[in-house]
Amino acid sequence: MKAFILKTLTISLLLISCQKSSIEKPAEAQIIAQTCGGTVLHFISPEFGEEWINNFGDTEKYDRAALTADLEAEEFQEGDIITFTFEVIEELNGLSCDIPGLPDTKIKMNNIKIIR
């Protein structure tokens, strides 16, 4: 009986840990900074992200910042407000540099649209 309970708990924990931490409803954020290490976003909704100080520009403090590699500089500008869905990831792929001072919270974006 103990072995069955232990096995069931182990399988349950494995299934829970394999789920993606994605948000299915659209999120809204403003583009704060574009660097070779990724694009920094300030989340308007939902409340998500980390505290971050913009040492690349206005030195303003943001309370809900995250980093992404999914925005092309030619299509999006600092100050744009966008909607999207996202999932939290460990690493950003395809970036040309790794610079200090960027947010540690990293996201993969989908369904990106400029709203303002």
Considering the chain, what percentage of its residues have pLDDT values greater than 90? 55
Query: Count of domains in the chain?
Result: 1
Range from 70-74, 85-89, 92-96 that averages highest in pLDDT: 85-89
How far apart CA 43 and CA 84 sit, in angstroms, is 11
Domain for residue 10, yes or no?
Answer: no
Place of tokens 């200090």: 100
Q: What pLDDT shows up at residue 79? A: 95
The end-to-end CA distance of the chain, in Å, is 59
Domain for residue 13, yes or no?
Answer: no
Q: What pLDDT shows up at residue 116? A: 81
pLDDT bucket at 22, cuts 50 / 70 / 90: low
Maximum pairwise Cα distance, the chain: 62
**Residue 41, CA distances (Å) to 3, 7, 10, 22, 101 in order:** 47, 42, 37, 17, 14
Would the pLDDT of 20 be above 60?
A: no
Model confidence over 26-81: pLDDT tens digits?
A: 899 999 999 989 999 999 999 999 999 998 877 899 999 999 999 988 899 999 99
Q: CA nearest 23: which of 63, 83, 71, 79?
A: 83
Domain for residue 53, yes or no?
Answer: yes
Find the domain containing 32 and state its range.
Answer: 22-114
Domain for residue 12, yes or no?
Answer: no
